[in-house]
Each structure stands twice: as structure tokens, then as C-alpha cells.
Structure 1
């Protein structure tokens, strides 16, 4: 049983495909790439998931006793943290205690056998452990070391700790997010972490491409705040060229009108983005006000911005007069850019998202569950299967046997010293 993605077959939940867990005769684009993930929480594991989505093998190193701290976050269902499940399905978990020299030695040896090491420790920690890039690259010149940290590996703030909330405030995002009379606002999800993780995956693949020409790896240095600062648009350019500090403008863009989120007559919400001249004119037609095209208050975007409050009131009143479905149908007929403001139920029940975007997360205690799939689609690659979330150290024994050729006796000795674990009872 299959779904269709870009016209190609995608395996349904639980359907077995190639050994790397991905379908398609052509093979996934990152087939053969092995990633050693030392990252925890959100940003680095997001990068690991992005790489795994396109066929990389991701071996996740966790503390044998506690695992990735994200395992303890809420919300949870049947003892499984939903955020951890979303980012780590399909990865292998190897339990290694990095606080012990023997554990760090194992990681060094593993780094010599992989293509990418992905880490999110505070800058300088790997170097303190004798695992800096100079050491790892001496053993493996083609290694890509992708580093995600709060403020980056260089600069005056490099040693500061940083989580997503700090990145969202330091970057300028929180200051510009919200309404003029509301306080600066951060989002209720890992926004900065996710953007940084996607950027780290992009940097990793870029460096792997360069390695294909030179044979040499490199360091990818991602600060949590920098990708977020980049997507803030013209905030910095605006200040440095005009001296203007961008302020909060609510749901408007501050640069085009009409644009915003409006309640319909049934209490449901929708968005309209008439951000170009042609779309604005089509909106006026849909509203039954074609004469606005010649009205000096609304004829151009500059004029509309000067009379934005007045125009927004007119649009809001038109939307509020009817149920959301009717308004959206009118907007669709006039090719106005608009969409419902969806909650989770709306997304799951939407046929477009069910066909293109949402995929099954199988083999877990969550039961029948869906997660967003890869963030982009390739015509020649049908996408991964998300089947199972690893237990802490579930793959310690098979991964270390395969990658380092450790014998059962060596594994048992490391297990007895609690350097690795947990091990199956049969390891002697």
C-alpha cells in the first residue's frame, strides 16, 4: 500500500523497503552517508532528522542512563516525549558516557569511521575532551564537523550558553513580533532551534558536496540566532540605511496593504495577503468594490499604507459578514492569496496536507500517528519511512560491533564500567 508524493510511490507506514529504511530504486540522495549525532534537545537533532530524511544513517550518542534530555520533555504520551519522537524516529541510539575517557575514546574512534559528526555542546567542550576538529580530522581528513551553539564558535559571546528563547530575543525576532501595544513575543515552539537545525543540515550537505571535489572535510559553524536574524527581512538594512528601528505591527507586514488575519462571521479565522498590486485589485473585485482601484486612498500600495487602518477596517467588516468557507470560496474564485487559519485538526483533515505533507509515524506507543514529513520533495526520491523511535542505547551493541569491530568481551567490559549501555543480557 502506497501514498503518492510528486507522482511517485511512497511506502505506507510499516511497509519494508531498502535496508536504509528508504524506498525507491534510485536510492536516497544521502545513501552511504553516516552521521554521528552528539547533539541533544532540538537544534542538532533537527539537523540529524533532515539528513536522515534523505537517506543518511544517523547514529545518535546518548548518555546511557538518562538519554537525550528531550526524552523528558512534555507533552508525552505513554511515557514517550512527542518532540523526541518527531525528531528521532529512524535513528540508532548508542549509549556512551562522554564523561569518561573511555567513552570519549570510543567517540573518537567512531568519528574516524563516519562522514559527519553533529554536535551541540558549548564551544570549547569538544576541545577539552580531546575531540576538537584538528584531532578528529587527523584520523579522518574527510570528516565534516557540524557544530550548533547559541552564539557560534567565534566572537565575544562564543562561551555563552544559548537556547532558542535567547536566540529569538537576541536576534531581534521577539522585538518585532506582536502588536504595538503588546510585549515582545517568542513563539510557543522551537522556532530558532528548528531554523538553526535546517541550516545546519544545509551546511552539512554543502560541505559534503565540496568534499566530493576536494576529498577534505570542514567545520560547519551554526549559531542559533543567525539563521533567525537572516529571515527577519530588512530589519537591519532598514536601520543602517534609514536609521529607522522596525516596530511591532501585529499581523500586518508593515510594507504592504491589505494584509492580515481576520475573523469570519462564524468565529473562524482566515488570512489574506494582497501584497501585490494585481492581488489587491482582485480583492477589491471580490469585495464588490472595484471602484477602489481608482480611489486615491487605495489605488496604490503607498496610498493603501497611508490609509491602512481605514482599509483594514473595510476588509475586516467584509470578512466578518459571512462564514469563513464562503469568504474563502469567493477569494479563491478571484485568485486572491488567502487561507484558513488552521489548527491541528484542520491540518490533519485537509486532503492536500494528507496527500503531500503528513506521513505515518509507526512502530511506537503513540498508536496511529502523523508527523510532517521532509521539508522538501525530490522528483526522483519518494521519501523515508518513519518507523520506530529508539530506546536509550537500543543499538549500542550492534552499532559498536559493526563500526568498531568490538568483540562481545570488549563490549561486556565497557558495559561493566558503565562506559556504554544498556547492553542486552546475552552480551558476555
Structure 2
């Protein structure tokens, strides 16, 4: 099936997006929209392009991260530092449904292409704005990347073990969540437009979606004054839960996060009486005795190979998983059928696999990931199409 016919099936078929964003979060938003049928035109500096093209890891000069986020988009080269370039963006914005941008708040306004200006030309325009701290508030003008969001949101403080420093993740966690959230906000604004004909301005701060995810610690602090610390692989809210090493050195996770699963875990361990033990009968008392309970579960796991443990846990319907590395994921038939897709059209990378859409829609088979655009590759094509 060709790219055009697949795109026509998507829920966002016919939606045109102008992506002014660079690096990670805003292009993630663009990819989310493109995954479900939108035509995404990526505006890049004609010389340097998106800095994400320089990210490692690389193969034959092609950034793998850039390829993952930008496959299937069209690239046009426009110099936004020039008056002519900004005028061209304004004219293009009048012909699209969505503009995504990730400049520091106020920059578009300084350039004369802020929301009020773009909306005057295109009342139905959705302007999705991704920034470090949002378009409002005392910190609005501060620069921000994912690391700042991961530390400022509180995530890094609770991530790790009590004896280790606060830890940021080794990937674009905050950026990714912000990009997905920006796509959700864009979709909501497009829905509103379908009912009212009016566009909207969507404001995403990198830290806010991540702060939402860890929000229980804020409720806990304001309710009890307790500052949540680092608890390693535990949640601090349910027991037993964690990552354990089997006798063959391989790792697995167990999440006995409700009473039924905890009971089935004790049965799987051959210790059904533990659910009647006053120390382990409820989650509240299990948390009070978490260290000793984790020791019991850990010792049970450590006495057997991982495959044997997982087979027993599956039999008793205990929530569990092996701890996968990249090779495990690629070899797994479930992920191969449902999640991983082939990224093609890049001579530099060859045949590679990447995660596909983050959700599935019955009416839509999903896009192809065919072709990583060169800087400005589609400039003439897009200008002829939109401004002719």
C-alpha cells in the first residue's frame, strides 16, 4: 500500500502541519500527528538544519534519533532570521491547519509572526507552542531542555536509590512526554475547530506533563508534609514490587500492586499462608515490612533460573516481565507483531526497526516510515503546492 493511500485512511488525513520546532519535543509532536495521517512539513535552517541531525548515535552520518522522529515528514529550507523567510512562514501558516513551534516565548512575537498575527490571516489556525517553562509565569523566558524539566519537575529527586544522587534518565523522557502531550492538545484544538471553525493556542511546558505523572508526591507533601525520597525499584506505595535477579544472572520484574496479585504471588512461591500473616496480610502492613518481604521474594527468585520463575508466575497470573534489553525486544514476537515497524528509505542506516505509533486505531493500519528528508529536500514541492 502506498504512502498516499495509507495517509488517506488516518484520522488526521487532510490536516496540514507546519513544524517550526527543533530538537526533540516539538518534532515528537509532529511525528505523533504524522503517524495518524497528517502531512507534516518541517521548516529547517537551509544551512545547518535541525540540530538533532547532529545527535548520536549515528551510522554513516545519519542520526538515528533524527530519523526516528522525522521519517516521512517533508523538509523545506527557510531562514527565519531574515525578513523574507519570516514572511514566507507567515504565508505558509495561512494555508495550514497547525503550526508547531519551540522557540523561547516571545520570539515569534518579536519576529512579527505571533499567534495574533497568524490568526488574523487564518482564524482556524492551531498554534502549538512547546517551551521549557510555558508561555506564562515568572520563568517563561528561561531556556529549557529535557534535563531541566526532569530535575525541576521533581522527577530526578525521587529517581534512584537512597544512597545515590538524584538521577535523570538516559533518554529524552521529559521531551517525549511533552511531545505526546502537545499532540493531544493539538488534536483537542482541531476537534474544537471542527465544531466552531475557530483555531486555538496550545501551550506546553516541558516539565508539566512529567510533573503530572509524579503528582502523588505533591499531594502527599501538601497533605502530610512528607517529602518523598528515592526508593530504588519500589514505588513506595505497594509491596512487593521490584526488579529481582534469578539464579542464572538474568533479571525480571514483579508487580504485586493489589491484594489479589499479592495473594497469587505467595501461592506461586509455595507460601500461601503468608497472606494470613499479620506482617503481610494487607498492603499497608506489607509496606511497613517491605524490606523483609523484598528479601523473601528476592531469595525465592534467586534460587531458580529466570525462565522457570516466569513460567510459574504466568501460571498463577502474577504481573511480571523479564527485563528486556534492545536485543530481547527485537527478538520478541509480540513486539514484532504489534509495536516495531521498519524504517526504510535511508541508505545510511539500511534496514532498521523503530517503535511505531504509540496507540492503535481500528480504522487505520498506520503509516509507512519511508524516507528521512534531507535539509530542504521538499522546498520547491511544498511552495508550489501551498503558495501557487
TM-score bucket (shorter structure): over 0.9
Do residues 224 (structure 1) and 244 (structure 2) align?
Answer: no
How far the C-alpha of 1:18 sits from its partner, in A, is 4.9
RMSD of Structure 2 on Structure 1 (CA): 0.8
What's the secondary structure of 2:287's corresponding residue? helix
Q: Deviations over 1:109-137 (max 9, x none)?
A: 00000000000000000000000000000
Runs of 4+ with >3 A deviation: 20-23
What's the secondary structure of 2:4's corresponding residue? coil
2:374 to 371, 391, 394: 391
CA–CA distance in structure 2, aligned partners of residues 32 and 113 of structure 1: 12
Do residues 48 (structure 1) and 33 (structure 2) align?
Answer: no
**1:312 paired residue number:** 294
Do residues 287 (structure 1) and 296 (structure 2) align?
Answer: no
**1:247 paired residue number:** 229
CA–CA distance in structure 1, aligned partners of residues 202 and 282 of structure 2: 45
What's the secondary structure of 2:230's corresponding residue? coil
Pairing 1:52-201 to 2, within 5 Å after superposition = 52-201=34-183
Q: Deviations over 1:268-320 (max 9, x none)?
A: 10000001001001000010101101111111111111111001001001001
Contact 1:20 1:55 in 2 (8 A): no
How far the C-alpha of 1:353 sits from its partner, in A, is 0.2
**1:207 paired residue number:** 189
Unmatched tracts of structure 2, length 5 or more = none
State the TM-score, normalized to the length of structure 1: 0.90
State how many pairs are aligned.
387
Contact 1:20 1:31 in 2 (8 A): no
What's the secondary structure of 2:160's corresponding residue? coil
CA–CA distance in structure 1, aligned partners of residues 386 and 367 of structure 2: 23
Q: Deviations over 1:173-231 (max 9, x none)?
A: 00010101110000000000000000000000000000111101010000000000000
What's the secondary structure of 2:7's corresponding residue? coil
**1:380 paired residue number:** 363
1:296 to 278, 294, 297: 278
CA–CA distance in structure 2, aligned partners of residues 75 and 20 of structure 1: 33
State the TM-score, normalized to the length of structure 2: 0.99
How far the C-alpha of 1:404 sits from its partner, in A, is 1.0
More helix by share: 2
